[in-house]
Chain A
Amino acid sequence: MSTEERKDTLHYYFEKIVDPLGFKFTPDEELVDFLLEQEIKLEQSAGAPYCPCQGRTNKREHDMKIVCPCIPYHQRQFNAMKRCWCGLFVHKDVTDPDSLPQISESELRESEAGHVD
Chain B
Amino acid sequence: MSDVKLYTLSTCPWCRKAKKFFSDKCVPFDYVDVDLLDGEEQDKISDEVYKISGSLQYPVVVIDDQVVTGFNPSRYEAILGLPHDEATA
* A107 proximal to B (CB < 8 A): yes
A-B contact count (CB 8 A): 65
Whether B70 pairs with A52 at a CB distance below 8 angstroms is no
Categorize the interface residue count of chain B. Answer: 20 to 34
Q: Note all chain A residues with C-beta closer than 8 A to B34.
A: 55
Q: A53-B57, A55-B46, A57-B56 are in contact. Are A102 and B14 (CB under 8 A)?
A: yes
Interface 0/1 of B47-81, CB less than 8 Å to A: 00100011111100000000001111000000000
* A72 proximal to B (CB < 8 A): no
Q: Note all chain A residues with C-beta closer than 8 A to B49.
A: 55
Residue among A52, A101, A102, A105 making CB contact with B9, cutoff 8 Å? A52
Whether A102 pairs with B72 at a CB distance below 8 angstroms is yes
Whether B69 pairs with A53 at a CB distance below 8 angstroms is no
Q: A101-B72, A104-B57, A104-B69 are in contact. Are A53 and B15 (CB under 8 A)?
A: yes
Whether A105 pairs with B46 at a CB distance below 8 angstroms is no
Measured in the bound complex, the distance between the Cα atoms of B70 and A107 in whole Å is 11
Q: Note all chain A residues with C-beta closer than 8 A to B9.
A: 52-55
- State the B residues within 8 Å of A (CB): 9, 11-15, 34-35, 46, 49, 53-58, 69-72
